[in-house]
Structure 1
Amino acid sequence: MSVSVPSTTSIRRAPGSEPLLASGDLAPAGHFINGAFQPGSGPARQVIDPCTGETIASVADGTVEEVDAAVAAALAAKDAWGRLVPKERSEILHRIADRLAENAELLARLESANCGKPSMVSEDDVAGTIDTFRFMAGALRATTSMAAGEYAQDHLSLILREPLGVVGVVTPWNYPLLMAAWKIAPILAAGNTLVLKPSEQTPLTTLKFAELVADILPAGVFNVVAGAGSVVGSRLSEHPNVDMIALTGSVRSGRAVARGAAESLKRVHLELGGKAPVVVFADAELAAAAESLRAAGYWNSGQECGAGCRVLVHESVASAFTDLLVKEVGTLVVGEPGAGSDVEIGPLTSKEHFERVLGYLERAQAQGIRAALGGGAIEGPGYFVAPTVLVDVPDGAECSREEIFGPVVTVETFSDEAEAIARANDVPFGLAASVWTNDARRSHSVASKLDFGTVWVNSHLVLANEVPWGGFKGSGYGRDLSVYALDDYSRTKHVMHHQSR
């Protein structure tokens, strides 16, 4: 690629004498089916350290036959698991959370080694994973439904919430452990069994999770088949004994899963991409907005579907805001996960994605869009891209409409509120957005007109297990987190009793 950054931008490297992983940290490299690891029959796939490009481990690619075996195990286990009363399932989820907490440091190191994440990001992921299981353990005991009552004369109606059965799950490479938890916890809480396919690029923490909980969950309730989406994901989507398919991933993957599920008319849950606009009005606290975007735009190296990656700022304060943003982003520490607890930006997760992000930057440069900071790869081993702020971005530019999914924030200007709303909505995604203003009426009005599943006011990328996460339009449908996830992974049955005498 021709894009580059100044030679003063550097990567802090970890001391060579302190390896991130020790002998025995990795789980067995096979698939986890019916409560035990089984060696894969398919070819081995190399798992790569994105900091160096070197191989960490080899994990077998799953086959259709292995998916079928995992689905058969989940099918055999579903009735007994679904019949457990909420208290029993809750206690098991609490035991899982306890086991994860006991192994939090190990899981964080595995996540950092596989994904290149700074320790602060991996530790946050593990903490969020633990809290997800604890929340769902409580929420499953307090589900609510329509009140029983006589809605037709002499007939008593009862509304039941039932498990769906077997759920197929496909998780992404950017948050392999946390996104797995966002699916596993509510699926189990609702009384379902599942077969999960982790990303072939980042399977290590999912396999370790399976090893850690093997003695807690009954055999067959939770299964993992690693491998390619074109094989494992496709088979899960089309399998006649899978009742629902849930995916967090790209729009392309979402379309493929939905097509595969169409033949059997199974339910589909999709959490797909995003291109979150950050709408900054002239009366906003500009310094606070810039400081927030230092994290919200670049957390996990921008490999975050809700990242605040597209700034729309009022033309009267655009110059001042851009100066503040560049100053904030310029202080980010880039490095390997073992190079210190203050490292904030790691590499992109794969060579393929690294080249994809650089392609966006190269094309932006060719279109006359200027990098006020960064703008390319950082010299040296690994897949590091400098934290970048792109300015002079015209309306409709590729870099402001498509999901780059890297440490890149674009800055555009607008003239009035109506233009800001129209431009913010003029993207194919609808996952998240934020509004920055000190005008309370404006904040309510604008938030109601933004076509996104989550809208923050004077903050960005703040999540909690108690509130739902999911999008509109090309960002998919279904909700993760909160009691809404329990609704997604269960079905409603109406039982009506004729009671006249």
Structure 2
Amino acid sequence: MTTETASFTVRRIGEAPAPSLPPFGQFIGGTFVASTSSGTTAVENPATGEVLAQVPAGTVEDVDAAVAAAVAAKTEWAAKTPKERSAVLLRLADIIEDNRELLETLESANTGKPAAVAEDDISSAVDTFRFSAGAARAYTTLGADDYAENHTSVIFREPVGVVGVITPWNYPLLMAAWKIAPILAAGNTMVLKPSGETPLTTLKFAELVAGELPAGVLNVVTGSGGVVGNRISEHPDVDLVAITGSVGSGQKVAASAAGTVKRVHLELGGKAPVVVFDDADLEAAAKGVRSAGFWNGGQECGAACRVLVHESVAQKFTELLVREVSEISVGTPGAGADVEIGSMISGAHYKRVLAALEDVRKDGHTIAVGGNAMEGPGYFIEPTVVTDVPAGAPITYTEIFGPVVSVETFSDDEEAITRANETVYGLAASVWTSNASRSLSVPRRLDFGTVWVNSHLVIANEVPWGGFKGSGYGRDLSIYALEDFSRTKHVMYNRG
């Protein structure tokens, strides 16, 4: 194993802007209230290791109060017309836009994100609400007609009722927006548990929009997954539970929800293959992996983290990729608009990624660039490219969820497709080729919910996002999200 050294240093600023913290408490019934527990959880700035705030360690009683508030609000909210709900969502989008700088600063402080990622997160959250506002007024369904003699059928699309939501730490406000916007647009009320590591922007959002939403429509309870998340999943008055998180977390939610036979919406992990054929634009592919493999520090379920490249161009592609990755800038929030990646989300996750890199070394793979912790405060890891990876190696199927991309080779199209599909995940993949026939045929045979051709990690609100296999089921974004958070009712009128 050989290692190429690159001059990675963490660009730092003397003092970051002070974030505007949300009120202390649980957001229930339209206001912040005291938790029934005196326990708290420390929320950290991972770029410095300093504690930003304390939030309540919520209880079963807190969840019960939040669900009761959502139940009390659901009839009135469901009775609003799509136009009325749409107008509210547009106001929420404007509130995010008007508080952009505040939310970007708070998100960066809580996650270690560089400015470019935080700005994209907030812009995407705004667009999510604006899209859902329009989609609320544009449902399509089976037309009313006589499908049986002398009987007229009408299909109604109704809210499911109260939706429980569990969001992850990698995109705190954006993943909350992906759930809140379509859930409210479809006429539901909700109880949301943000990640215990990154609850601040979700709580701040609740504070900012409290005056625009009827009390109880949106409730936020902080706390652990084992207590708050489990109670949301099992609660008899929660009609559907949606989670974005790990496969293990999704399995626990689905198992807990089974007791009350409630619907489950799972957006789980991924290990996205990037299939680079011999006729691909190699420079474009290398730049694409630089961007999509290391966006948000690789803490992204659709990250371009597993490259399969044709053996005839593998050396050239690897050289290009190593050059690209060697130029990645690492820094703390506020250290410059050109900083590409920041810290890992927490000390615990930092240790997990470093442990995975140690396993890579033990397995005898080549670390072509990076592979080390970075000096100074905060949880920073060098952008890393691992090469000489054989088929079936643990790095080809283990979701590291950090700034690590592996490179393996294949001989022909059949092998590429077979190897790409050899994973428990089925969230996202990409194909890089200049062959028109291949660009049409290969994506159809890849078992992933999203397949890009000659790009990776390009997302739009108009099209669905979600996976197959271990990556879960249900769709975020697009009109499909609103359909997932609603139910159909058939009413048949006898005209005989």
State whether TM-score is above 0.5: yes
Matches within 5 A, 1:58-457: 58-457=54-453
Mapped contact 1:5–1:378 kept (Cα < 8 A)? no
How many residue pairs end up in the alignment? 494
**1:52 offset after TM fit, Å?**
1.4
Mapped contact 1:15–1:339 kept (Cα < 8 A)? no
- Which TM-score applies when normalising by structure 2? 0.98
**1:381 offset after TM fit, Å?**
1.2
**Residue in 2 aligned with 1:41?**
36
**1:7 offset after TM fit, Å?**
8.3
Q: Deviations 1:68-124 (Å, cap 9, x if unpaired)?
A: 000000000000000000000000000000111000111000000000000110010
Among 17, 37, 41, which residue is 1:20 paired with? 17
- The one-letter code sitting in structure 2 at the alignment partner of 1:26 is L
Rounded Cα–Cα distance in structure 2 between residues aligned with 1:296 and 1:181? 21
How big is the alpha-carbon RMSD for the aligned residues of Structure 1 and Structure 2?
1.1
Rounded Cα–Cα distance in structure 1 between residues aligned with 2:29 and 2:399? 38
**Residue in 2 aligned with 1:484?**
480
1:339 partner SS: coil
Mapped contact 1:303–1:405 kept (Cα < 8 A)? yes
Rounded Cα–Cα distance in structure 1 between residues aligned with 2:405 and 2:106? 28
Rounded Cα–Cα distance in structure 1 between residues aligned with 2:22 and 2:347? 24
Mapped contact 2:278–2:433 kept (Cα < 8 A)? yes
**Residue in 2 aligned with 1:9?**
8
**Residue in 2 aligned with 1:466?**
462
**1:125 offset after TM fit, Å?**
0.2
Unpaired runs of 5+ residues, structure 1, are: none
**1:443 offset after TM fit, Å?**
1.2
- Which TM-score applies when normalising by structure 1? 0.97
Rounded Cα–Cα distance in structure 2 between residues aligned with 1:28 and 1:398? 44
**1:376 offset after TM fit, Å?**
1.7
Rounded Cα–Cα distance in structure 2 between residues aligned with 1:15 and 1:120? 19
- The one-letter code sitting in structure 1 at the alignment partner of 2:13 is A
1:411 partner SS: strand
Give identity over the alignment, percent: 64
Rounded Cα–Cα distance in structure 2 between residues aligned with 1:6 and 1:237? 47
- The one-letter code sitting in structure 2 at the alignment partner of 1:333 is S
Mapped contact 1:312–1:412 kept (Cα < 8 A)? yes
Rounded Cα–Cα distance in structure 2 between residues aligned with 1:362 and 1:443? 37
Unpaired runs of 5+ residues, structure 2, are: none
**1:293 offset after TM fit, Å?**
1.0
- The one-letter code sitting in structure 2 at the alignment partner of 1:438 is S
- The one-letter code sitting in structure 1 at the alignment partner of 2:17 is L
Q: Deviations 1:269-317 (Å, cap 9, x if unpaired)?
A: 0000000000000000000000111110000000000000000000000
